[in-house]
Structure 1
Amino acid sequence: MQLYNLKDASEEVSFSQAVKQGLGRKQGLFFPKSLPKLSDIDGLLAMPFQKRSVNIMSALIGDELGHDTVEMLVNNAFQFTAPLAHVTENIYSLELFHGPTLAFKDFGARFLAQCLSHLTPADEAITILTATSGDTGAAVAQAFHGLANINVVVLYPKGMVSPLQEKQFSTLGDNIYSVEIDAAFDDCQAMVKDAFDDQEIREDLHLNSANSINIARLLAQVCYYFEAVAQLPVDKRKEAVFSVPSGNFGNLAAAMIAKTMGLPIKRFVAATNSNDTVPRYLLSGLWEPKKTVSTMSNAMDISSPNNWPRIEAMFEAGYLDKSILTAETVDEDYTHMGVRQLNSLGYQSEPHAAVAYKALKRSLTDDEVGIFLGTAHPAKFKETVENILGVPVALPKELAEIANKDVLSARMPADFAQLKAYMFEKLA
């Protein structure tokens, strides 16, 4: 698999190098030079999830790692299901919260962890630096916790991550270091980029990232779109519309890669909260990020989505026509309404899925079948959901076990010099 840097096309790397390097020159994202078109989609959809995912990832990565290695990586990473829940007549929820941290990011984070563990020599230590607006930190921390020769530093915005989300990554200790930043997520993300531009950190600490900027995380997410369509009735597959709750836009980029590979998806809805840079861009053609707004769907509180250049690259390469993508902004009132409406249908959900549900409802036609992504278990947003519905939300054991643990985070302003000093103190 050959990939190129979207900001400097002269930089070309293998899959292994892209995984280990994270970002390219000029903070550019890596993207495949070509995307494979799969044959016999029906046969692929008839396979079990893990076997199908091995075939998908093997097609994407090529023969660089070998089929047996890809099979090992996939089987070690994907040890949980992604069921399609029938919510109402023509609407389904793809439940991506059955992994260890109860969020969709378990798929990508665990596959990335397996890849880096496989690719890292025993005598070399690497540092994962990642920013989180919610679920990334938990998924990455849990995926890498205890792995030899890999340290993880998680940056997160003060007061913008739910208490249970924070507990999932800030109570582990060992090789996991969490840092609360007194700023917004975009500032945390900017500090990650600054670290990659700092030669001393990059080289001395063997820096890498586990955000969706890393190609391994992104490609792993392709697999669950195939799993969603596989669970639809055969006669409904060609009318499938996916509504994707979008923050950094990695999830939507993965969905579009799946369609490029041949998965029968009719169209996509990019569902955002009040941080609506992309919906405004699709209407006006002007890229004008505003100051990040704090919302109850906090994992989507991102004004400068990192993965949008990959979506643009697919449009520019002619893989997909822009007409297959629309975008909807769902404000706080409509998010409240979405949680309540889903509950009235007998489906308890949380704000991110509610944003996707409301966006889907606005555009779905009678002859289409809609799938919105359930990206997190409602218990991860226990206080919010309870306040909206007025009923208790039970904690699954994964959250009950950490609810009373102490937060171990360091705290600092959005000051890169302080972050650099902290990282060398802890990791050098």
Structure 2
Amino acid sequence: MKLYNIKDRSEQVNFEQALKQGLGRYQGLFFPDSIKKLDNLASLLRMELVPRSSAILAHMLGGEVSKDVLDAILEKAFTFPAPVVKVSENIHALELFHGPTLAFKDFGGRFMAQCLAQFNAGKKTTILTATSGDTGAAVAHAFFEMENVNVVILYPKGKISVMQEKLFCTLGKNITTLAIEGTFDDCQAIVKQAFDDQELREAIALNSANSINISRILAQICYYFEAFAQLDAKQRENLVISVPSGNFGDLTAGLLAKALGLPVKRFIAATNSNDTVPRYLKTKSWTPRQTLATLSNAMDVSAPNNWPRIEELFNVQGWPLECLGYGVTTDSQTIDALRELDALGYLCEPHGAIAYAELTKQLQPGETGLFLCTAHPAKFKESVEDILGNHVELPEALASCADLPLLSQDFGADFSAIREFLMAM
């Protein structure tokens, strides 16, 4: 598989290099050099999740990773389902929270971990990543106790849910968590600075497990095909997919699935009040504002990393950006959507509720709607219980860590201090 750096097309790498390197020069994202349509969609849709995903990724990787190796990687990574659940007559939910950390990030995090285990050949690696809530847990659990891998996770102190924090800040061992006085964008900026520091990168063999790493995006493509496979022929005809969007990796994966030939009619980028992309699509002016804290904290991102990949994809495919749906849902509208879903008999959480809200606003007669549920409601137990007045039971993954002490260290949003800490490791 050939990939190029969006900011410097002269930098070209294969999949293994992109996996290990994370970012290119000038903090550039890697992007596939070519995207060829799948020519066997009908037969793929009859397969189960793991063999189908292996076939799709083998097609994309172009022989760089053998089918046998991919099969083995995916059998270890994708050990949980992604069911489509009917919510109303023409609207369905794609549940992506059945993995070990109860969020969609389990797909990408576990795939990346297994790929690194395959390629690393015992070499020491430091994974540095920023999280707005769910990435941290998925990455921590995917790499937990993995030999020769140290993981350092930065997250905005006091700006993720209690249950999100418990899932990855109580592990210890090869997992180090740093609570940063600032926003997710501050955490993300520190990660980017680290990747620009050649001495640091080489000293600690730096890599990232954010969705800036192309391996995460490739893994997420697979569950769009899984969702499509679970729908009947009529539902597939005019399918509209609404994606809760913060750092825009999930939407990037869905659009790549469309470029591979998945016949989705259109996508909706559903954001909270951190609305940089909707404003950009409306005004053509890229003007990130200060990040706002919302009920949907995993989407509290003002400068989404993956947006350049989406623009690159639209340019390469010759798609007009005007065909991408978008919408902004406030906290009060999120509460309304949660209550509406509850009345329909479906328990959701704020991120999925935003995708549902935008879908119901924009779905046309004759269309089938699918919205992504990216996290288990119990990860937002306090807010969901407060809004709905219902008790939310903790699944075992959360119950087992709910009373454990946090092991995080506090830092200011100061790259020099964190650089010193990383070098000392």
Normalising by structure 1, we get a TM-score of 0.98
Q: Distance in 2 between matches of 1:129 and 1:94?
A: 29
| Alignment of structure 1 residues 142-157 onto 2, 5 Å | 142-157=141-156
Q: For 1:181 and 1:190, how far apart are their aligned partners in 2?
A: 12
> Quick one: distance in 1 between partners of 2:237 and 2:256?
16
**Partner residue in 1 for 2:393:** 394
Aligned equivalents of 1:411, 1:374: Cα separation in 2: 31
How far apart are the structure 2 equivalents of 1:419 and 1:361? 44
Corresponding position of 1:417: 416
Whole-Å separation in 2 of the counterparts to 1:307 and 1:182: 24
2:24 partner letter: G
* Residue matched to 1:374: 373
* Contact residue 179 and residue 410 of structure 1 kept, 8 A: yes
- Which residue of 2 is the match for residue 48 of structure 1? 48
Paired amino acid for 1:237? R
Q: Which amino acid aligns with 1:86?
A: K
Residue 254 of structure 1 is matched in structure 2 by 253
Match of 1:114 in 2: 114
Q: Once the 2 structures are TM-superposed, how far is the Cα of residue 395 of structure 1 from its aligned partner?
A: 0.3
In 2, distance between residues paired with 1:319 and 1:49?
30
> What is aligned with 2:199?
200
Instruction: After TM superposition, give the deviation of residue 140 of structure 1 in Å.
Output: 0.2
Which residue in the other structure is 2:281 paired with? Answer: 282
State which drifts further: 342-351 or 413-422: 413-422
Contact preservation (8 Å) 1:260, 1:319? no
Look up the match of 1:273. Answer: 272
Query: Which residue of 1 is the match for residue 362 of structure 2?
Result: 363
Give the structure 2 partner of residue 13 of structure 1.
13
Which residue of the partner structure matches residue 24 of structure 2? 24
Matching of residue 85 in structure 1 with residue 57 in structure 2:
no
C-alpha displacement of 1:398: 0.6
Q: Report matched runs for 1:125-204 at 5 Å.
A: 125-204=124-203
C-alpha contact 2:134 2:298 (8 A) present in aligned 1? yes
Deviation at 1:366, TM superposition (A): 1.7
Q: Which runs of 5+ in 2 are unaligned?
A: none
Counterpart of 1:221? 220
What is the rounded CA distance, in whole Å, between the counterparts of 2:51 and 2:318 in structure 1?
26
> How far, CA to CA, are the matches of 1:253 and 1:424 in structure 2?
33
CA contact (8 A) 1:260 1:320 kept: no
Q: Deviations over 1:210-261 (max 9, x none)?
A: 0000000000000000001101111221211000000000000000000000
Question: 2:270 aligns to what SS in structure 1?
Answer: strand
Superposed CA deviations along residues 388-416 of structure 1, whole A, max 9, x for unmatched, are: 00111000011000000000001010011
Contact 2:281 2:321 in 1 (8 A): no
* CA shift for structure 1 position 421: 1.4
Q: Which residue identity is paired with 2:165?
A: E
Structure 2 equivalent of residue 344 of structure 1: 343
Amino acid aligned to 1:158: K
CA shift digits 1:253-282 (9 cap, x unpaired): 000000000001000000000000000000
C-alpha RMSD of the superposition: 0.8
Cα shift at 1:324? 2.9
Q: Is the 1:266–1:324 Cα contact (8 Å) retained in structure 2?
A: no
Distance (whole Å) between structure 2 residues aligned to residue 392 and residue 408 of structure 1: 28
Match of 2:60? 60
Runs of 4+ in 1 over 6 A off after TM superposition: none
Structure 2 partner of 1:326: 325
Report the number of matched residues: 425
1:320, distance to aligned residue in structure 2 (A)? 3.2
Paired amino acid for 1:184: T
Question: CA separation in 2, counterparts of 1:88 and 1:319?
Answer: 34
Q: Tell me which amino acid in the other structure corresponds to 2:125.
A: I
Taking the aligned partners of 2:320 and 2:34, their CA distance within structure 1 comes to: 17
Cα distance in structure 1, aligned partners of 2:340 and 2:235: 24
What is the SS of the residue equivalent to 1:114? helix
The aligned residue for residue 95 of structure 1 is: 95
> Residue 73 of structure 1 corresponds to which residue in structure 2?
73
Which amino acid in structure 2 is aligned with residue 44 of structure 1?
Answer: L
The question of whether the paired residues in 1 share the 8 Å contact of 2:274 and 2:291 is answered with yes
Between 1:321-330 and 1:288-297, the stretch displaced more is: 321-330
Where does 1:287-298 land on structure 2 (aligned, <5 Å)? Answer: 287-298=286-297
State how far apart, in whole Å, the 1-side matches of 2:226 and 2:359 are: 20
Partner letter of residue 39 of structure 2? S
Q: 1:28 Cα deviation (Å)?
A: 0.2
Percentage of identical aligned residues = 56
Return the alpha-carbon distance in structure 1 between the equivalents of residues 6 and 29 of structure 2. Answer: 6
Deviation at 1:319, TM superposition (A): 5.0
What CA distance in whole angstroms lies between the structure 2 residues aligned with 1:320 and 1:98? 33
Alignment gaps of 5+ in structure 1: none
Query: Contact between 2:182 and 2:413, CA under 8 Å: does it hold in 1?
Result: yes
- Give the Cα separation in 2 of the matches to 1:377 and 1:279: 26
User: Matches of 1:299 and 1:144 in 2, distance apart?
Assistant: 21
The answer to whether the 8 Å contact 1:101/1:142 transfers is yes
Deviation at 1:95, TM superposition (A): 0.1
Equivalent pair of 2:281/2:322 in contact (CA under 8 Å): no
Q: Secondary structure, in 3 states, of the residue corresponding to 1:317?
A: helix
In structure 1, distance between residues paired with 2:16 and 2:394 = 39
Please tell me whether the aligned partners of residues 240 and 267 of structure 2 are also in contact (alpha carbons under 8 angstroms).
yes
Letter in 2 for 1:272: T
Aligned residues of 2:259 and 2:317 also touching (Cα < 8 A)? no
Task: Give the match for residue 384 of structure 1.
Answer: 383
Asked if 2 retains the 8 angstrom alpha-carbon contact of 1:27 and 1:197, the reply is: yes
Task: Map Cα deviations across residues 126-146 of structure 1 (whole Å, 9 max, x no partner).
Answer: 000000001000000000001
SS in 2 for 1:63: coil
Inter-partner Cα distance in structure 1 for 2:400 and 2:235: 41
SS of residue paired to 1:113: helix
| Aligned amino acid, residue 174 of structure 2 | N
Matches of 2:64 and 2:399 in 1, distance apart?
42
SS at match of 1:380: helix
- d(CA) in 2 for partners of 1:17 and 1:36? 21
SS in 1 for 2:317: coil
